[in-house]
Amino acid sequence: MAVGDLSYVRTEMSPAEKPPRGEHGLAAWLKKNLFASPGDSILTVVGLLLVAAILPPFVRWAFLDAAWVGADRSVCSTVVQGGIQPEGWSGACWPFVKAKFELFMFGRYPIDERWRVILVGILFVALLVPLLMPRAPRKGLNALLFFIVFPVVAFVLLVGGWFGLEHVETSLWGGLLVTLVISYVGISVSLPLGVLLALGRRSKLPVLKMLSVIFIEAVRGVPLVTVLFMASVMLPLFLPPGTTFDKLLRALIGVALFASAYMAEVIRGGLQAIPKGQYEGADSLGLGYWQKMGLIILPQALKLVIPGIVNTFIGLFKDTSLVSIIGMFDLLGIVRQAFSDTNWASPQTPMTGLVFAGFIFWIFCFGMSRYSIYTEKRLDTGHRK
């Protein structure tokens, strides 16, 4: 007897019923997400009030009332302040940012040579983007180019002195350029060095272990500001007269060593989280130390501590602002330096400059943070409890 003969048996699925009223639609969504309990309702209302209190004045200040074009402080100050705006005016001073934009990006890098910085920037993006995309091919070559070839090319281009390029002293560098150079060097040095230090600290070789511990504890125990300050104020006194130790180099070494020590502790946390069975399993397969670490332990340990690593990167990126105490100007430093230009001094200038600098920092940090979340998800191989 064919199944189809049974006329009372349905041959297709019945259409899905709508969820019951109260389980779908706007009202349900609101109830579920915003007003699920009295506590939630209070938080929602308070949150909305906060947004309502902060957002409209900010939008008005930053966009609606802001000054957009102008050549000096007069467009950003009221009549009594020596400008053209009406009494009681308050708005962002974007012409200031516009006039100083190149200064904020390149510092005092010679104007005719700025194409070199832009070229390095393009190379950086062109190499970094495929490296970050899991599906892009030739990862090995790409990494080699990014971490070995790119620094050399960037060094030659930025510093100059070869191939007919004019030499540009690092004292002329500034702004975002300095921020990115310090972060790039700090990040690319601290990760490998941090791994080595973490392995050294867990090593069974006593001398190696002791050296790693001493380095990590000594560097972590001293504030970065102190190291930079000592490098800038005391170091020149111990060097032979006339010898100048490049300021940027001092900052680079300080920041890189610093980040390495922190990174080592983050990675050590990951190493400790790997069950002993993994080590024993690797041993039982007859793997040597580096094979064991490289193939079994580190891939798991590093994956565990991605949030910690990115946290350190973000901290490092923002710590670059500390170089302003040794007379170098990172993005924040140069923005604040620009406040001292009397052509632009007005009650609105500092706020505008700081909002701009904060926005640039935020873009970079947010980018790093989103990429770290993406990587965590991609590498999630089911260890989540």
Partner 1 sequence: MRSQGTTGLAPDNNRRKGFVGMKNVLTGMLGVAALALTASVASAGTLDDVKAKGFVQCGVNTGLAGFAAPNDKGEWSGFDVDYCKALAAAIFGDASKVKYTPTTAKERFTALQSGEVDVLIRNTTQTLSRDTALGFDFAGVNYYDGQGFMINAKHLAGVNSALQLSGASVCVQTGTTTELNLADFFKANKMEYNPVVFEKLEEVNAAYDSGRCDVYTTDQSGLYAIRLTLASPDDHVVLPEIISKEPLGPVVRQGDSQWADIVKWTHYALLTAEELGITQANVEEMKASGGPAVKRVLGEEPDTKLGTDLGLTNDWVVNIIKAVGNYGEIFERNVGAGSPLKIARGINAQWTKGGLQYALPIR
Beta-bridged to residue 93, according to DSSP, are: 67
Instruction: Report the interface residues with partner 1, using CB under 8 A.
Output: 73, 77-78, 80-82, 99-100, 102-103, 106-109, 111, 169, 171, 174, 229, 232-234, 236-237, 239, 241-242, 244, 324-327, 329, 333, 336-343, 345-347, 349-350
In the complex, minimum distance from the CB of residue 103 to partner 1, in angstroms, rounded to a whole number: 5
Amino acid identity, position 245: F
| Orientation angle between helical segments 247-273 and 306-319, nearest 10 degrees | 160
What one-character DSSP code corresponds to residue 55? H
Task: Indicate the residue among 244 and 284 with the shorter CB distance to partner 1.
Answer: 244
Task: Indicate the residue among 299 and 327 with the shorter CB distance to partner 1.
Answer: 327
Task: Indicate the residue among 90 and 300 with the shorter CB distance to partner 1.
Answer: 90
Contact between residue 325 and residue 225 where contact means Cβ atoms under 8 Å apart? yes
Task: Indicate the residue among 74 and 300 with the shorter CB distance to partner 1.
Answer: 74
Task: Indicate the residue among 43 and 225 with the shorter CB distance to partner 1.
Answer: 225
Amino acid identity, position 202: R
In the complex, minimum distance from the CB of residue 96 to partner 1, in angstroms, rounded to a whole number: 9
Structure tokens at 70: 């102008």
Q: In sequence order, what are the residues at sequence separation of 6 or more whose Cβ sits closer than 8 angstroms to the Cβ of residue 113?
A: 160, 165, 166, 168
Task: Indicate the residue among 174 and 254 with the shorter CB distance to partner 1.
Answer: 174
What secondary structure does DSSP assign to 198-230, as a single string?
HHHHT-S-HHHHHHHHHHHHHHHHS-HHHHHHH
Task: Indicate the residue among 93 and 296 with the shorter CB distance to partner 1.
Answer: 93
In the complex, minimum distance from the CB of residue 37 to partner 1, in angstroms, rounded to a whole number: 40
In the complex, minimum distance from the CB of residue 121 to partner 1, in angstroms, rounded to a whole number: 18
In the complex, minimum distance from the CB of residue 345 to partner 1, in angstroms, rounded to a whole number: 4
Contact between residue 182 and residue 320 where contact means Cβ atoms under 8 Å apart? yes
Task: Indicate the residue among 341 and 376 with the shorter CB distance to partner 1.
Answer: 341
In the complex, minimum distance from the CB of residue 247 to partner 1, in angstroms, rounded to a whole number: 9
Structure tokens at 286: 């007859």
In the complex, minimum distance from the CB of residue 318 to partner 1, in angstroms, rounded to a whole number: 15
Structure tokens at 195: 């791994």
Q: In sequence order, what are the residues at sequence separation of 6 or more whose Cβ sits closer than 8 angstroms to the Cβ of residue 108?
A: 172, 173, 174
Q: In sequence order, what are the residues at sequence separation of 6 or more whose Cβ sits closer than 8 angstroms to the Cβ of residue 258?
A: 186, 219, 224, 227, 316, 319
Structure tokens at 177: 């350029």
Q: In sequence order, what are the residues at sequence separation of 6 or more whose Cβ sits closer than 8 angstroms to the Cβ of residue 107?
A: 172, 173, 174, 175, 177, 178, 329, 334
In the complex, minimum distance from the CB of residue 240 to partner 1, in angstroms, rounded to a whole number: 8
In the complex, minimum distance from the CB of residue 377 to partner 1, in angstroms, rounded to a whole number: 39
Task: Indicate the residue among 142 and 337 with the shorter CB distance to partner 1.
Answer: 337
The label of the residue with tokens 């970079």 reads: 364
- Separation CA 75–CA 98 (nearest Å): 13
